[in-house]
Structure 1
Amino acid sequence: MEAFIELDGVEKVFDVRRRAGLLRREKSQVRAVDGLSFTVARGEMVGYIGPNGAGKSTTIKMLTGILTPSGGRLRVAGIDPARERTRLARRIGVVFGQRTTLWWDLPLKDSYRLMHRMYRIPDQRFRENLERCVELLDLGELLEVPVRQLSLGQRMRGDIAAALLHDPEVLYLDEPTIGLDVISKAKVRDFLRDLNADRGTTVLLTTHDLTDIEQLCRRVMVIDHGRLMYDGALAGLHEVGESERTLIVDLERELPPVVIDLARTVRVEGPRQWLAFPASQSAAPLVSALAARYPVMDLSLREPDIEAVIAKMYAGRSGQ
């Protein structure tokens, strides 16, 4: 498949000054991205994950031209983002979960009108794209509301729509579901899935929510300390990181720890028990076995902490 995003040995080094006395400061360097190489094909939806400070946001900023690499080669659609940022801007969309591209004191619709002019979007194309985003992201009742009065979930949906009004070929999403409620997350995921399937938009998604990755991405890349540690399927990541899901079971009454081949009991509090099992395995057989042998009242599933998964991977490599 055609490579749409290409990184070859990309580095980003920041100069940092720290206080080293009353009047003296010492200069040091922080390597945020360290020899990063990967390609993303046109139309792929890829999860790009790692712990805080791993270099995810720095990578996104280099891909958009906000930051210039310290070394290596980087291309998006054959364009060097740092050299041709304005030209590239018409072909990309960006959503930073903790920052908004909308005008704070203006109604949502006025922010969209400004973007209509900024990107010089043809009128018919703008109307069609706006109507589609408003319908699929449920923004109809919010268009007259000032951005500062929107909830986090509403504002996030508004930001995603804003990033797509000019029909970008690639969409960078940096923590797009952070702080959202369950309903808002579901709407955002459904929209992104349809966008990728219907329009073939290339999507690079950074998130700490593994459910986002599981529901949207076939491929996942893990970065830590600025280096690519894993590139492949999510199931493979769980196997490499030896991660575990947790099934929280509420029984009808207090019982001794559950004994079952498919999982191990890691905690018991009255009638509630916590069972750990490999994250690469389906929960369905475990649930069936529990229901057949124990008086189950309620169940809930807790996904593994991605930072814990990566910490295990990193510790394993350090010990080699």
Structure 2
Amino acid sequence: MSQVFEPELKQLGWRGWLYALWKFARPHTIIGTSLSVWGVYLISYAIASASRVDLLAPLGAWIACLCGNVYIVGLNQLEDVAIDKINKPHLPIASGEFSQRTGQIIVAVTGGLALLLAWVLGPYLFGMVAISLAIGTAYSLPPIRLKRFPFWAALCIFSVRGAIVNLGLFLHFSWVLQGNRSIPPAIWVLTAFILVFTLAIAIFKDIPDIEGDRQYQITTLTIKLGQKTVFDLALWVLTVCYLGMLLAAWLPQVSTVFLISTHLLLLGLMWWRSRQVDLQDKSAIASFYQFIWKLFFLEYLIFPAACLLA
């Protein structure tokens, strides 16, 4: 394998090559995927009232999902080299750290590993991974390339992150833990929250990329409505998420006080942080976008904790 990547290894060294691979994998998506796998496992464990923690089940699902994650974000980079040179010049293919061939090999290997491992581990996991990869392929790859259309692009992102991953992982872990395979209210609440939250991420993600998208005729919501309108829309979508969670905090499967107090705190923090964003400063917009991802990450810590504390 090292011979395949020999040009990059000579140029970057092993440490530089691994750092480029980390950037290629888009760290914020890797963290989100990791937290979703382990968070849903803990919720499944709490609901099933399992007698012991089986770390092999989430570990296998985690590796399969990470491979699928790299396939999806890597394929997008392979198809968006010209756009990324304007919007995200730090990415490995856009910057020249990785060749197109290297990117293709990484994408092919991780996609194959994701499907193979999921197939070995169970039918629910395989179905979840296969559907996610199919949608990720349709999102980036011509001639379909759904990312050209604002509605379909947003639908791809929040359907995978919001519904397919959460429901598929819960069914897989319930199957492993031999629990009840009907989906309980707590999982539907988390799924609804993440679904709407991911819609806000899908809306917001193109705000800092308006220059490259306009040049290459990628019609995004930001280009159609303007940065300020889309920014405010994303904020109100997130607000609906947090207010909705306050209503759901009365479920018997969660700790009501813990869920209400944490979500009120995060809602206030989000609005305070939003007032500091200068929409004329691309770095400020990108920083707030990463802050939204941090809020996304926190939900997969807070909600499982609320279930375990119930």
Larger C-alpha radius of gyration, 1 or 2? 1
TM-score interval, smaller chain: under 0.3
Which structure carries more strand by proportion?
Answer: 1
TM-score by length of 1: 0.26
Which structure carries more helix by proportion?
Answer: 2
TM-score by length of 2: 0.27
